[in-house]
Amino acid sequence: MSPTRRARGGSSRPRRRRRPSPRAAARLAFVLEASLGPGFRVGHWTATGGETGCTVVLPPPGNVTAYEVRGSSPGSRELASLDLERQRTEIHGLLFAGGSAFGLAAADGAMRWLEEHGIGFRTPIATIPIVPAAVIFDATAGLAGVRPGPGAGYAACDAASEGP
């Protein structure tokens, strides 16, 4: 595909790609931390060498969570657990990541961190953290091979704190 597009009148001009600001995670953090109530913790991991990362929200026990899906090609995991018609609507973490569908792997690390800290839905065989996740396509912003994985989700949980 050509990196140009036709303008009116048949001329072409270079196509500009919108690059996310390297401070996008910090802005998301401020918005989340400023709008969440007491007991919510927020943590981040940012890739070195790529303009991507992930953010985790760790809500207090007893939370009720819902969702809305927007966009033409949403990438998500465990959203059905947020349906208000389900028996359990409480979650133990919520993860937002870059890296397109590959970024969903960061939720594995968040689940491992929560399990190690005894946070999750208790069953006779294991504690199972419920961690819905959503991703964005940001591969054109940095290096396509740099993306959040399980280690990133774990690190974001480690970095989580309450307040801005």
Backbone angles phi, psi at 155, to 5 degrees: -65, -35
What percent of the chain lies above the pLDDT cut of 90?
43
Diameter of the chain measured on Cα atoms: 69
pLDDT grade, residue 41 (50/70/90)? Answer: very high
Distances (CA, A) of 93 to 1, 82, 132: 40, 12, 7
pLDDT grade, residue 24 (50/70/90)? Answer: low
For position 58, what pLDDT does the model report?
95
Q: Please give the domain boundaries of the chain with CATH numbers for all domains.
A: 21-158 (3.60.70.12)
Cβ(98)–Cβ(131) under 8 Å? no
Q: With 50 as the cut, is the pLDDT of residue 8 above it?
A: no
pLDDT tens per residue, range 90-128: 899 999 999 889 999 999 999 999 999 999 999 999 999
Residues 44, 28: Cα–Cα separation, whole Å: 10
For position 14, what pLDDT does the model report?
47
Output the DSSP codes for 38-59. Answer: TT-EEEEEE-SSSS-EEEEEEP
pTM over cut 0.85:
no
State the alpha helices, DSSP H only, in the chain. Answer: 24-35, 106-116, 150-158
